[in-house]
Structure 1
Amino acid sequence: MKTAKIKVSGHGLFHKSGLTFSLYSCSEPMQSKRGSETGRTLQSNVLHSEAGRVFVSGDSYRKMHIYSLMISLILSVFFLYISESESVKTLKDLAVKSGGSLTIPCFYNGKYKSNPKYWCKGKYWSSCGIVARTNTRGRTLVTDYPTQNMFLVELNSLQESDSGDYWCAVEIGDKWTPDESDYLYLTVSADPAVSVINSRVSGQEEGSISVQCLYRTDYKNKQKQWCRFRDWSCLTSQNSAVQISDDGRGAVSVEMSGLKKSDAGWYWFSAGEVGVTVHLTVTERPTNTTRKSGTTLSGNTMFLWILLAAGLGLLVSVVTYLLRRMFNPAETRERISDTTVHTQSQDSKTYTKVKPNKRKPSSAAAQETDFIYVNVASASKNTTLPGTMQ
């Protein structure tokens, strides 16, 4: 009986997630040796191996070859599908309150920086309809950030009718290669499974922020997580930088302290499998130069206020001094003690004497001079007052 001998060797076809998958390929059949391999030759339809070699009949070889090709083809398609699906990545289940807005980050492989991006709606990828493309305007906006290998889908004024299946997609532009995409489901309702008070928060370097998250009562026993898109890592309990507090009544507080610039970016809060996105902005802390400038400005301001107060004090002193000079009683008595009073009428001038009436002092310590005032009336040229000289 004619037998065939084939060599089977392993070849690595795929390397995915640390696993190597191998297929067996067959070499050309070779004639078996006569006589010297007694006991090592296969009878018809008998199969065994020795020293890495497998001996099969001709019919078995042909069938094995066909099966090998079929398995290779199936595995190639399967792993190609897995590889392509991971070229775009986003969350799988999101919730938002009706009437509100939601921003969805979609991350893609760096080789697609220059490719157009779009947002597609439909349960099946092959039949989904494009809702918005990169840089188009409308209720849905798609904005690409090539430096971050990410594009954002902004959904505004959402209604319950907007709930459904969606796809983040990257256009390849080759009719033989399908576009890259990743699937997610969006739920819009009056009472969403999860939500946040503020979807955009801001903090200062070395400072802290607090995010208030809410969940529906039927999600009370679901696992709560605070996750970061950058490395797809999640926290379910607190650590030195992040404190997660669940009050058990539908509210979770997430506090991040000791903020760094690298903490900025996109996060999500989830209860069970449902999530909602949050964006964190970290601003620079004021430098020492800025603080010194502020201190100098405060010192100059204080100095100006002191000068102003001193000037006002000096002005008040001068005005007070002048008023005292004008209304000093001693000066008034000096003016009254003048012995001559000039009175001028419209027709002529009339002069009179004011004689002091000296009294005897009532005591030796004080003397006072009294004056007798005479009313002077207007007179004509030829009129002479009694006691006056012409």
Structure 2
Amino acid sequence: MAAQPKTKILYISLGFWLIIGVESYDAWTNQVLTVQTGGSVTIPCHYDKKYTQQKKYWFLDIVETYTNISEENMSIIDHPDQSLFTVTMRNLQDEDTGDYHCIVDNEGIMRSTYEVYIKVQSAPNVSVVSSSVSGHEGGGISVQCLYSSGCQNKVKQWCRYKDQSCYTLGRTDTSQNSSVQISDDDGRRSFTVLMTGLRRTDSGWYFCSTGGVMSPVHITVTEAEPDKEKDTDNEFLTVWLRVSAALLLLLILISVFIWRQRRRPKQDEHQTRERKSSKTTDTDPVNDIIYYSTIDHDPGSEAMKSPAGGAINSIIYSTVAPH
């Protein structure tokens, strides 16, 4: 839901300054920004591109502050490429409560581009867990918005400063690829904003809102990290190759084990047969026959004499080997 811009003419005399032509939006009138005592807040002040080279100011009542300053409790920085300047207030106290204006100097005529009432509280009606959230293109981010018990039954919204578009509970498409989903965390006095399918154009300032009270959040969407994704893919490929190699080696070892187990009975049977055959061959009386014969001296014949002249009675052992 985007409100149509409307210009209302105001004449605010601040010393010798005259502020006219306050550019506002019907849906943005009487906006209240709550901040915890001692805390800090950054307010984006958008302006038309035609004011890029003009001086910018931040007003509280009759206090004037020029852009591009940095003090202990205050800094104002212009961002011409974004057509906005940001005001950061630190260590806020009760006396800092009041109406503030974003002012551009249009050829000596001070024009208010945005006005907000900042209320410093010990327990803010609306706040955020983190006022700066970043994500990658195509990814998602989550923002948690906190609210007081008095806002329990009020409408919860997530709005964008730049085009004043607001989204309520549920899911709403914000672009071709990105979407916004808001869910109320019943019982915890908070609601969560989930933006998915982020695009670079989703970068910018948003705010959580309920019951006309808001708290700003800056979203930064950066390019996806191709090198990191490539490294992740390479790491996955390396792990996959190692696992595949290990599985292949295991499969080979299992196959070799099974093959050897199946082959072993045949080898054992063959070796058994060889041992039996060898044993049979060694003890076969037909193959190796030992004959023992005794030749006695025949008394009727001439006895064999030894060189000493004595008779020799001889026993001769002979072995007949197979041919």
TM-score exceeds 0.5: yes
The answer as to 2:212 corresponding to 1:212 is no
Residue 84 of structure 1, aligned match among 18, 21, 45: 21
Secondary structure of the corresponding residue to residue 171 of structure 1: strand
Residue 238 of structure 1: aligned partner: 170
Q: Deviations over 1:191-250 (max 9, x none)?
A: 011000000011112211111110000111111110011211000122252111112331
Residue aligning to 2:217: 278
Q: Following TM superposition, by how much is the alpha carbon of 1:90 offset from its aligned partner in structure 2, in angstroms? A: 9.2
Question: Amino acid of the residue matched to residue 147 of structure 1?
Answer: D
CA distance in 1, matches of 2:209, 2:166: 10
User: In 2 relative to 1, CA 91–155 (structure 1 residues): closer, same or farther, beyond 3 Å?
Assistant: farther
What SS does structure 2 have at the residue aligned with 1:195? Answer: strand
User: Which whole-Å CA distance do the structure 2 matches of 1:78 and 1:205 have between them?
Assistant: 39
Whole-angstrom distance in 2 between the partners of 1:90 and 1:282? 29
Distance (whole Å) between structure 2 residues aligned to residue 180 and residue 95 of structure 1 = 21
Match of 2:21, SS? helix
Aligned partners of 2:22 and 2:111 also within 8 Å: no
| Partners of 1:153 and 1:18 in 2: CA distance | 22
Kindly tell me: are residues 257 and 266 of structure 1, through their superposed partners in 2, closer, same or farther at Cα, counting changes over 3 Å?
same
One-letter amino acid of the counterpart of residue 146, structure 1: P
Gaps of 5+ in 2: 12-18, 173-178, 243-323
User: In the aligned structure 1, how far is the partner of 2:102 from the partner of 2:83?
Assistant: 13
Partner of 2:208: 269
> In structure 1, how many angstroms separate the alpha carbons of the residues matched to 2:9 and 2:96?
33
- Out of 115, 121, 129, the residue aligned to residue 189 of structure 1 is 121
The size of the alignment, in residue pairs, is 221
- Superposition pairs for residues 121-136 of structure 1, below 5 Å? 121-122=60-61, 128-130=62-64, 132-136=65-69
Deviation at 1:104, TM superposition (A): 0.3
Q: What is the CA distance between 1:293 and its match in structure 2?
A: 4.9
The residue aligned with 2:76 is: 142
Secondary structure (helix, strand or coil) at the match of 1:239 reads strand
**Identity of counterpart residues, as a percentage?**
41
Query: Which amino acid in 2 is paired with 1:269?
Result: C
Deviations 1:347-384 (A, max 9, x none): xxxxxxxxxxxxxxxxxxxxxxxxxxxxxxxxxxxxxx
Task: Give yes or no for contact 2:43–2:88 (8 Å, CA) kept in 1.
Answer: yes
Q: 1:276: how far off?
A: 0.5
Aligned to 2:96, which of 148, 159, 162? 162
Distance 1:283 1:151 in 2: 21
Conserved 8 A contact 2:137-2:199? yes
**Residue pairs, 1:368-383, within 5 angstroms:** none
Counterpart secondary structure, 1:161: helix
**Structure having greater relative contact order (Cα 8 Å, sep ≥ 6):** 2
Distance in 1 (alpha carbons) for counterparts of 2:221 and 2:30: 24
In 2, Cα distance between equivalents of 1:18 and 1:192: 29
Distance in 2, matches of 1:87 and 1:251, equals 29
Aligned equivalents of 2:5, 2:93: Cα separation in 1: 43
Q: Deviations over 1:20-44 (max 9, x none)?
A: xxxxxxxxxxxxxxxxxxxxxxxxx
**Aligned equivalents of 2:66, 2:23: Cα separation in 1:** 21
Give the Cα–Cα distance (whole angstroms) in 2 for the partners of residues 149 and 91 of structure 1.
23
- Out of 158-167 and 262-271, give the one that drifted further: 158-167
Structure 1 residues 202, 244: closer, same or farther in 2, change over 3 A?
A: same
Contact 2:46 2:162 in 1 (8 A): no
- State the alpha-carbon separation in 2 of the partners of residues 272 and 223 from structure 1: 6
1:254 pairs, out of 193, 198, 202, with 193
Alpha carbons of 1:87 and 1:117: their partners in 2 closer, same or farther (altered >3 Å)? farther
2:163 is the counterpart of 1:226: no
Paired position in structure 2 for 1:202: 134
Which protein is richer in strand relative to its size? 2
How large is the Cα RMSD of the aligned pairs? Answer: 3.2
State the Cα distance separating 1:290 from its structure 2 match. 4.9
Secondary structure at 2:201 match in 1: helix
- Gaps (5+ residues) in structure 1? 1-16, 20-76, 123-127, 304-390
Say if 1:228 and 1:234, in contact at 8 Å, map to a contact too: yes
**Is the Cα contact below 8 Å between 2:125 and 2:213 reproduced in 1?**
yes
Give 1:179 deviation, angstroms.
Answer: 4.2
8 Å contact kept, 1:172–1:180: no
Amino acid at match of 1:188: V
Q: Write the distance in 2 (CA, Å) between the matches of 1:186 and 1:18.
A: 22
The aligned residue for residue 48 of structure 2 is 109
- Code of the aligned partner of 1:246: D
Matches within 5 A, 1:312-331: none
Deviation at 1:113, TM superposition (A): 0.7
Which 4+ stretches in 1 moved above 3 angstroms?
Answer: 77-83, 87-91, 177-182, 289-300
After superposition, the Cα gap between the structure-2 partners of 1:121 and 1:294, relative to the gap in structure 1 and judged at 3 Å, is same
Distance 1:18 1:233 in 2: 12
